[in-house]
Structure 1
Amino acid sequence: MIQEFRLPDLGEGLPEAELVQWLVAEGDRVALNQTIAEVETAKAVVELPSPHAGVVQVLHAAAGDVVEVGSPLISFEVGAEASGSPAPPDASSATRDKPAAGEVIAADAPADDAAGPNLVGYGAGPRSGNRPRRRPRIAASTFPSAATDTAVLAVAPHDDIRLVEDVESLQERPRSTPPVRKLAKDLDVDIALVTGTGPGGLITRDDVRGYAETTTRAAQPASDVRAQDTADTGETRIPIRGVRKHTAEAMVTSAFTAPHVTVFLTVDVTETTELVASLREDRSLADHRIGVLAVAAKAVCLALRHHPTLNSRWDGERGEIVQHHGVHLGIAAATERGLVVPNIRHADRMTLPVLADAIRDLATTARAGKTSPEAMRGGTFSITNVGVFGVDAGTPILNPGEAGILAIGAVRRQPWEHRGQIALREVVTLALSFDHRLVDGEQGSRFLADVGAVLREPGRAMLLT
């Protein structure tokens, strides 16, 4: 029996997702809940588990395709046919309720009204009355020989065409990381054709770049949606999709909905840098890697307790201001897919070492493209650390639904007045943007002054607990 799996709603209310990579091929046998593909929504890369145990019959999309929620994604052969043994005869099988030969049964409408497989966290896609169009399967005789120009293969869906000598390797998909797959996609390289030189055969960036340099790029079809270089005009066109598209829409919405105000404060943070240095020398804290960002995050959490208007949101539909009782602290992270701002749930309840660990884990997960959709929702206040790029200050744009965002500039050693004399001190500039519908100038300034006071004298945190 053929079971069809449609792209589910991944819990974000988004209408579509881009297929990043298939982790199975047609003819592969898969187990229930085995990861079969990676898809990228407007917020994150998500791994899809298999809803069935059986044999993959049809892949309805190729890597790079944008698939609408509810559209056919993959078809499986399940039951006795998939096990290779004939099904026992059943007299009732001749009834009119039996599916016709070759008929496709959707996963969201199982036969005989039996309960379908339940993938935790995913909603069922909408039903469609139209039978899906099956992609043509390629006969073994059409596989190219070893002499085939691999440049042609590099721009073809690797789930359709492969070299004959690679057929045996289809039992195990190439190992790589999301950034490497993104690089391969940008260079129009079929990662299935790249040989990995990393540990355990892991495909690295150098492997992808080396393959791209040794193959001649074939002509792209006009319908190709990847980045295209146009030699005649000297420009590169990159489709706006995924995380970058979502970020752009959110920033435009925020900039033209919430009236932004930005205030600045330059602070002597020498005592904070000395505190950080002493904590790093403490063997009991060596694994936590506490830095200035973690101390600033702790200062923000402490200050928000005394300035709840900065930890609130504007509900225009109900005509209400909603004050949050906990701090879900967003940390902006730059990734190859664009800027993401996952948040740390209940950051205000964490000690400084635990908060430092949470920030490190958040950044690592974001750069690997593995941030979950849940981590992207529900933030109440955000921090962006522009200082890592050597920038002193900026005017950050609010995340929609949040009242404030703090930009932390570069810590610089410079002449500064200290105890009536000029001395070399560690100095940083803080920039706070806030929603003027919720926060007036006095509230914003007092909040920023409290954050600066903790960074100037970390011991003052005892006064804000």
Structure 2
Amino acid sequence: MAVKEFALPDLGEGLTESEIVEWHVAVGDMVTLNQPIAEVETAKAIVSLPSPVAGKISALHAEPGATVTVGTRIVTFELDGEAGETDTQDDPEASQKPAQSQKPAQPDMSAPTEKSGEAGSSDAPERNSVLVGYGPAVESGKRPTRKARAAQAAQQTGQSADAPAADALAQTVEAPAKTVNAPATPAEARTKTTPPVRKLAHDLGVDLTRVQGTGPDGLITRDDVSQAADAGDQSSDSATVSPSRESGPRAGGSNGRPREQRTPIKSVRKATAAAMVSSAFTAPHVTEFLTIDVTRTIELVARLKASGTSASVLAVIAKALCIGVARNPSVNSRWDAEANEIVEFGYINLGIAVATPRGLMVPNLKDADSLTLAELTDAIGTIARDARASKATPASLNGGTISITNVGVFGIDAGTPILNPGEAAILAMGAVRKMPWEHHGEIALRDVMTLSLSFDHRLVDGEQGARFLTDVGAILSDPGAVLGMV
């Protein structure tokens, strides 16, 4: 029997580590080639990791929630074959070296990915992408049934699947092998919930097997986990804290919350922090502000919606940005320090900042300047939903040229946004407020918004930034003005 050590592959994003979110298999399971065996979370997306071989899972070397570096072994397979075919059989530590012989084929992260709903586990919701490079699963991706595993094992041993020996073998396959390097699959992996909720439960120390789901068909939601965590904190506090003031500071904070709560810095939060620090201390940021009357834009969006056309204020601003870029191309450029060149783009990959449970993500719309207003509205809605559902693909998170952030949705009027690394400008749209405003020589109650433009002063002069910002503002103040700009 040959042994195959499988190391965490390079996901093609320039990253050195990933977090194991969930295993779809257990020790003893029989898997097919390209069957999803795990979900891993990088700093950008959650992807399914397909099996590189067909065989039996003999060991899992990382638990859910563990951060694993590229080149570290995570799974051991048993294969049919001669001992000479064994990979790293005599040198287990060799699987932890990112040698070329151990490293899987480099994934092409720019290629389209497939949804886990088509090739994922039977109870996992459709939300993430299959890791590109291995190809989509050749089967449905559902975990083989006990009977199917028994039949497969019987074929390998020359026995009938209906024979008592085959049934015994099926039971052996069903039970995880008790080895030092093969932790059993956690019980919560069998509960009905989603990987982000499992991750939240892991971070808060909540046992999902003790949580009653309130979602559809008993699905455990984030609120269920949060309430369970709060209940656990209150129980712990009541058991350890004396009501006497003389006992010292209480263990719990206000509202039953712990006085201190520590969360590991990893995944999206870690990558975002590193990128923002690098951007803030590499590019000299300048921010300019413009407050404008957007009443006509609000009326335009209302008319379009009434006529059945997809439209949103964010989409109108995105369209105005694309027109402004055509007139002021310096804001759509990049500083290439290695080549000592300024790269000016003839296309717009428009990043849309999205707040997600995993942290801030900025997926981008490829060639946004070629989209109509209705197409922009639909595309923005799609990438925002995908990002919040952890379905954003690495391809959609790379290659942006300029970005928009909507701080107004949180009731904020203005801000000084930090540039997305590698981009020359980012436009922040504030909240739309009814305010007294000069209109045709009189004071009237109008819809008013503040735009904030941060830009890299190496690439964009103050005058260039001001011209771009006033162009965008002119379109939003009077959408008909665009006829004189294109």
Q: TM-score, normalised by structure 1?
A: 0.77
In structure 1, how many angstroms separate the alpha carbons of the residues matched to 2:31 and 2:108?
18
Q: Do the aligned partners of 2:61 and 2:182 also contact (CA within 8 Å) in 1?
A: no
Q: Choose from 283, 299, 318 the match for 1:274.
A: 299
In structure 2, how many angstroms separate the alpha carbons of the residues matched to 1:416 and 1:328?
35
Partner secondary structure for residue 291 of structure 2:
strand
Q: AA paired with 1:68?
A: T
Q: Do the aligned partners of 2:279 and 2:420 also contact (CA within 8 Å) in 1?
A: yes
CA distance 1:55–1:454, shift in 2 (3 Å): same
In structure 2, how many angstroms separate the alpha carbons of the residues matched to 1:262 and 1:66?
37
CA drift at 1:411: 0.2
Q: Do the aligned partners of 1:51 and 1:118 also contact (CA within 8 Å) in 2?
A: no
Bigger shift: residues 184-193 or 99-108: 99-108
In structure 2, how many angstroms separate the alpha carbons of the residues matched to 1:323 and 1:310?
9
Q: Do the aligned partners of 2:28 and 2:177 also contact (CA within 8 Å) in 1?
A: no
Q: Which residue does the alignment assign to 1:71?
A: 72
Q: Do the aligned partners of 1:51 and 1:117 also contact (CA within 8 Å) in 2?
A: no
Q: Which residue does the alignment assign to 1:187?
A: 204
What are the superposed Cα offsets for residues 97-141 of structure 1, whole Å, 9 maximum, x if unpaired? Answer: 4659976898999xxx999889765679xxxxxxxxxxxxxx989
CA drift at 1:335: 1.3
CA drift at 1:428: 0.2
Q: What pairs up with 1:87-126 in 2 under 5 angstroms?
A: 97=84, 99=86, 121=109
- Unmatched 5+ residue regions in structure 1? 81-92, 125-138, 143-156, 219-228
CA distance 1:116–1:183, shift in 2 (3 Å): closer
What are the superposed Cα offsets for residues 6-36 of structure 1, whole Å, 9 maximum, x if unpaired? Answer: 1111111111111112122222233322222
In structure 2, how many angstroms separate the alpha carbons of the residues matched to 1:101 and 1:9?
19
Q: Do the aligned partners of 1:7 and 1:73 also contact (CA within 8 Å) in 2?
A: yes
Q: What pairs up with 1:308-457 in 2 under 5 angstroms?
A: 308-457=329-478
CA distance 1:198–1:27, shift in 2 (3 Å): farther
Q: Which residue does the alignment assign to 1:39?
A: 40
1:9 aligns with 2:10: yes
What are the superposed Cα offsets for residues 410-458 of structure 1, whole Å, 9 maximum, x if unpaired? Answer: 0001111111111111000000011111111111000000000111111
In structure 1, how many angstroms separate the alpha carbons of the residues matched to 2:353 and 2:182?
35
Bigger shift: residues 203-212 or 57-66: 203-212
Q: Which residue does the alignment assign to 2:267?
A: 242
In structure 1, how many angstroms separate the alpha carbons of the residues matched to 2:213 and 2:270?
32
Q: Which residue does the alignment assign to 1:160?
A: 184
What are the superposed Cα offsets for residues 178-197 of structure 1, whole Å, 9 maximum, x if unpaired? Answer: 43223212321244664544
Bigger shift: residues 306-315 or 37-46: 37-46
Q: AA paired with 2:364?
A: N
Partner secondary structure for residue 203 of structure 1:
coil
Bigger shift: residues 262-271 or 188-197: 188-197
Bigger shift: residues 265-274 or 205-214: 205-214
What are the superposed Cα offsets for residues 286-305 of structure 1, whole Å, 9 maximum, x if unpaired? Answer: xx3x2111100110011101
Q: Do the aligned partners of 1:158 and 1:190 also contact (CA within 8 Å) in 2?
A: no
Partner secondary structure for residue 446 of structure 1:
helix
Partner secondary structure for residue 296 of structure 2:
helix
Q: Do the aligned partners of 2:63 and 2:183 also contact (CA within 8 Å) in 1?
A: yes
CA distance 1:268–1:39, shift in 2 (3 Å): same
In structure 1, how many angstroms separate the alpha carbons of the residues matched to 2:381 and 2:283?
30
CA drift at 1:259: 1.0
In structure 2, how many angstroms separate the alpha carbons of the residues matched to 1:119 and 1:104?
26
In structure 2, how many angstroms separate the alpha carbons of the residues matched to 1:108 and 1:205?
35
Q: AA paired with 1:255?
A: A
In structure 1, how many angstroms separate the alpha carbons of the residues matched to 2:183 and 2:232?
20
Partner secondary structure for residue 268 of structure 2:
helix
In structure 2, how many angstroms separate the alpha carbons of the residues matched to 1:100 and 1:5?
9
Q: AA paired with 2:21?
A: V
Q: Do the aligned partners of 1:2 and 1:103 also contact (CA within 8 Å) in 2?
A: no
Q: AA paired with 2:75?
A: I
What are the superposed Cα offsets for residues 303-345 of structure 1, whole Å, 9 maximum, x if unpaired? Answer: 1011110000111222211000100001111112211111111
Partner secondary structure for residue 272 of structure 2:
helix
In structure 1, how many angstroms separate the alpha carbons of the residues matched to 2:277 and 2:87?
51
CA distance 1:203–1:394, shift in 2 (3 Å): same
In structure 2, how many angstroms separate the alpha carbons of the residues matched to 1:174 and 1:158?
21
1:258 aligns with 2:275: no
CA drift at 1:264: 0.6
- Unmatched 5+ residue regions in structure 2? 110-131, 135-174, 237-249
CA distance 1:120–1:57, shift in 2 (3 Å): farther
Q: Do the aligned partners of 1:36 and 1:48 also contact (CA within 8 Å) in 2?
A: yes
Q: AA paired with 2:56?
A: V
Q: Do the aligned partners of 1:2 and 1:104 also contact (CA within 8 Å) in 2?
A: no
Bigger shift: residues 187-196 or 340-349: 187-196
CA distance 1:303–1:175, shift in 2 (3 Å): same
Q: Do the aligned partners of 1:36 and 1:49 also contact (CA within 8 Å) in 2?
A: yes
Q: Do the aligned partners of 1:230 and 1:236 also contact (CA within 8 Å) in 2?
A: no
In structure 1, how many angstroms separate the alpha carbons of the residues matched to 2:379 and 2:212?
35
Q: Do the aligned partners of 2:331 and 2:455 also contact (CA within 8 Å) in 1?
A: yes
CA distance 1:186–1:291, shift in 2 (3 Å): same
Q: AA paired with 2:323?
A: L
CA distance 1:387–1:162, shift in 2 (3 Å): closer
CA distance 1:389–1:116, shift in 2 (3 Å): closer
Q: TM-score, normalised by structure 2?
A: 0.74
In structure 1, how many angstroms separate the alpha carbons of the residues matched to 2:338 and 2:177?
62
CA distance 1:452–1:215, shift in 2 (3 Å): closer
Q: Do the aligned partners of 1:406 and 1:432 also contact (CA within 8 Å) in 2?
A: yes
CA distance 1:214–1:260, shift in 2 (3 Å): closer
Q: AA paired with 1:381?
A: I
